[in-house]
Amino acid sequence: MIRKTIAAFIMIALCPGAASAEVYKCVTDAGPTIFSDKPCGKGNHQKIKLKVPPLNEVGYAKYTMGLITGYTGTIQIKDSIAHIKKTDKTIEVDLWLFPFRLNTEEVEQVKKGALVERGTQLPARFNFSFAANLSNDISYKDVTFAGLSLANGTLVTASAGQWYTLAKSIKLQYLPAEGKLSFSIKGKIDNYSLFINTKSYTYEKEIKSVNKEWAEPRGEQVFHSSVFGMLNYPYQVRPDLLAKGPSFTIKDTQADKWVSYKKLNYDTFTRTYSLSGLKPSTYRIHASLEDSTEFRGAPVKPGEMYAHKEFVLEDENKPVRVDLNMISMIHLVKPVNNNYHIPLTERKSYSSPLEFVWKPLSEGALYKCVIKRVNRIKNHTSLDVHMAIDIRQSNLTVNLTPGLYHFVLSAYKNDVKSGEMRIHDDRAIGFEYVFLVKEK
């Protein structure tokens, strides 16, 4: 279905002199929404009209850096497509800002005239233009802004002062001989802020001929990965860890063995990943962000992160999306400092009341503190929860009777686990700090 609808749309969109096109909004079986000039079938379409201005030169460019904040919170720009139109006097730029990563097939759809959506996630559009006789470094004074269309369809309008502040921040470079366009812009319009930095990227002039039928890309082009997704960092990540990037491992839980993959792609800015080369089976993917080498793949130092999740790959040509919520290591500073080796067999004695202090992960984070008590009755020993406390401050003082205890600390953000305390020595990792409360 996609092949036919896209090809038909191209012929209308690029037909010289076409002022408008009657099209249908269609949801494909694969998930993305496209716009076509023919009904989609099965009643899953909506009839709309799109204006198609006459063009004599068109180009496309793609980049993956940017950030928008505003009415719907903060949205990282995963993929953006710049549609460059040249008339006799101006170069017009339509910049589509997608809040999700486009796959190979979707990029081709956008290049051929389709507007891609994914579920409720919609692109926004930013429009500006400059004189066609300008090139190299272009002053902001020569750039004309047409508007910012939000994902909800609203056109952002603002006072002249707001537009001027936004315009002053633009740095634009246009090299038509090399087919390169780059710009950066940051500002605020009507409580809607944006930051875009494209560096230098290449646009391709569109082929005039539309008689060539568009063939569907091969499976390897569309389904380039076995598993893909995003790493969700709940808190600010140390710059050195971000620069190093995460490591990934895969375990085939069906065969109960670790397996290798063919290729890893990871985008530091969008924090998206993809792994290829897996065969159908049941897997568990592990991601870790660490700088220590004591326990490779198992973070122990404060600030390091990890995540793991199981998934099923049923068809090697159909990748599975697995987003990973990273869990940060909590830095306990009192009664001991877990940034250093603590013998797991050590049982330090403390007087009651006892204070636990740790470095906060973020303002308002929810911490779950569990204290377990070791109970001995004749020949029977049990480890029972003595108290469980949820707090938002980063310290806890407790009164405990003499005995042996285990302290467990974790953090949650929006009901999702986001932090964990670990204890380690030179040989093993512990998830509880074990201590004694002595007689007074």
Per-residue pLDDT reduced to its tens digit, 150-174: 665 555 655 556 666 677 778 888 8
| Res 54: pLDDT | 41
| Res 10: pLDDT | 26
pLDDT beyond 50 at 145: yes
Position 382, amino acid:
S
H or E segment to which residue 11 belongs: helix 2-13
pLDDT, tens only, 122-136: 777 777 888 888 888
| Res 360: pLDDT | 94
End-to-end CA distance of the chain: 79
Look at residues 405, 330, 337 and name the one whose alpha carbon lies nearest to residue 368: 330
Rounded Cα gap, residues 225 and 250, in angstroms: 14
Q: Give just the sign of the alpha carbon dihedral 191, 67, 75, 44.
A: positive
Higher per-residue pLDDT: 205 or 387: 387
- Least confident window among 64-73, 285-294, 327-336: 64-73
Higher per-residue pLDDT: 103 or 136: 136
Give the range with max mean pLDDT: 35-49, 111-125, 246-260.
246-260
pLDDT, tens only, 324-340: 999 999 999 999 999 99
pLDDT beyond 70 at 1: no
Q: What are the angstrom distances between the C-alpha of 41 and each of 45, 146, 213, 214?
A: 7, 36, 21, 20
Q: Which residue has the tokens 């405990």?
A: 400
3-state DSSP call for residue 221? helix
Residues contacting 211, CB < 8 A, separation 6+ = none
Chain centroid, CA 62 distance in Å: 17
Is the CB of residue 395 less than 8 Å from the CB of residue 356? yes
pLDDT, tens only, 76-91: 777 777 778 777 788 8
pLDDT, tens only, 358-413: 999 987 789 999 999 999 887 788 888 888 999 999 999 999 999 999 999 999 98
Confidence of residue 15 (pLDDT cuts 50, 70, 90): very low
| Res 419: pLDDT | 95
